[in-house]
Amino acid sequence: MIKKINRRETLTAYAFLAPALLGLIIFSILPVFFSLFVSLTDWNFAKGLGNWNFIGLQNFIDVWSDEWFIASLKNTFIYTIVTVPINLFLALVVAVIIDEFIHKKIAGVMRISMYMPHICNIVATSAIWIAFFSRYGPFTNLMRFLGWEDPPRWLANYFWALPAVMLVGIWSSLGYRVFIYSAALQGVSRELYEAAEIDGAGKIQKFIRITVPMLQPTTFFLTITGIINSFQVFGTVNVMTSGGPGHATYVLVYYIYTSAFKYYRFGYASTIAVFLFIFLLGITIFQWRHNQKAEDY
């Protein structure tokens, strides 16, 4: 009798899980294996489904001599190296300032206000930033006010286009990180700060010696997720610069998009997607192993 009840409960649980598992298989697992297969072919989507030739690892060899792929990879790494540390530093400082110096009722409103850009439509926010970066936009006028007599056309300048996109990325994701840090700060014991005050520690010393070390797990989590998100940046580049000028703002995901849907080279695009998948999978495994070690301790 007990076995029948357990079997019934198991079947019920599987029945509830089935729609989610089916969706995962259809929309995630099968496309991954299909991309792996297509990456080994020369499939041109314009020729229709099934018109592909198996070429083995040739696409994986060709990408390393592709100027646009190298530029996309370089820009993606630059985007990650610049935006992730700056975002983490600003988010931590802002979260501490809100927690220490802002009244609780106002602090909640500030956190929500800063979080809004993270959930706003990326096309709308990118369009607003295009206006900001225009010849007589607010950002350009601010630079003139600060003493820059002839600011460049940010999105049309080969040197400044990528930093402009980075600025939008930092702005849009800052609120999310502030939110996470603010939640983590609630778990830091106030007794540590009180003991530090008794020992004569100032606010900066408490920040460096207590806040930063105690938030290390949160910082690690935000670092890993920040790297993953920065390697998947697409919306702002697509709307604001279309990868230009030249390949100044080409990033990996945008190059995958143009290779597949502009030049119909689905085999080549799948190769780049597989490369990105392997890289992000490695970061995810690294995060998982780190969390396992942390739990063991």
**Architecture of the domain spanning 63-296:** Orthogonal Bundle (1.10)
pLDDT reported for residue 32: 87
Reply yes or no on whether the pLDDT at 294 is more than 80.
no
Mean pLDDT computed over 234-254: 94
C-alpha to C-alpha distances, 244 to 126, 156, 162, nearest whole angstrom: 15, 7, 9
Structure confidence at residue 119 (pLDDT): 87
Per-residue confidence band for 292, with pLDDT thresholds at 50, 70 and 90: confident
- 177 vs 49, which has greater pLDDT? 177
Measured at the CA of 83, the angle between CA 118 and CA 161, to 5 degrees, comes to 95
Cα distance between residue 70 and residue 63, in whole Å? 8
Q: Is the dihedral of CA 166, 169, 174, 179 positive or negative?
A: negative
Please report, in angstroms and rounded to a whole number, the separation of the first and last CA atoms in the chain. 42
Question: Mind listing the pLDDT tens digit for each residue in 21-77?
Answer: 898 888 888 988 999 999 999 988 877 777 888 998 999 999 999 999 999 999 999
CB 187 within 8 A of CB 249: no
Respond yes or no on whether the N-terminal peptide bond of residue 245 is cis (omega within 30° of 0): yes
> What are the pLDDT digits (tens) for 137-175?
999 999 999 999 889 999 999 999 999 999 999 999 999
Share of the chain above pLDDT 90, in %: 54
Q: Tell me what pLDDT residue 109 has.
A: 87
Provide Rg for the chain, Cα atoms.
24
- Residue 120, token pair as written in the block: 């706003």
Give the pLDDT band of residue 197 (cuts 50, 70, 90): confident
Number of residues that this document lists for the chain: 297
At 112 the pLDDT is: 86
Q: Where do the structural domains in the chain lie, given as residue ranges?
A: 1-30, 63-296
**pLDDT at residue 186 is higher than 90:** no
**pLDDT recorded at residue 3:** 62
Please tell me the pTM assigned to this model: 0.90
> Average pLDDT over the chain, rounded to whole?
89
Averaged pLDDT for residues 6-19: 83
Q: What is the band of 296 on the pLDDT scale with cuts at 50, 70, 90?
A: low
C-beta separation of 269 from 41 below 8 A: no
Comparing 256 with 293, which gets the higher pLDDT? 256
Phi, psi of 54, deg, nearest 5: -75, 120
**Whole-number pLDDT of residue 72:** 96
Average pLDDT of span 269-291 = 88
Quick check: helix, strand or coil at residue 18?
helix
pLDDT tens string 114-145: 889 888 889 999 999 999 999 889 999 999 99
DSSP count for the chain of H helices, then E strands: 15, 0
CB atoms < 10 A from the CB of 187, how many? 9
* Percentage, residues of the chain above pLDDT 70: 97
DSSP 8-state symbol, 25 = I
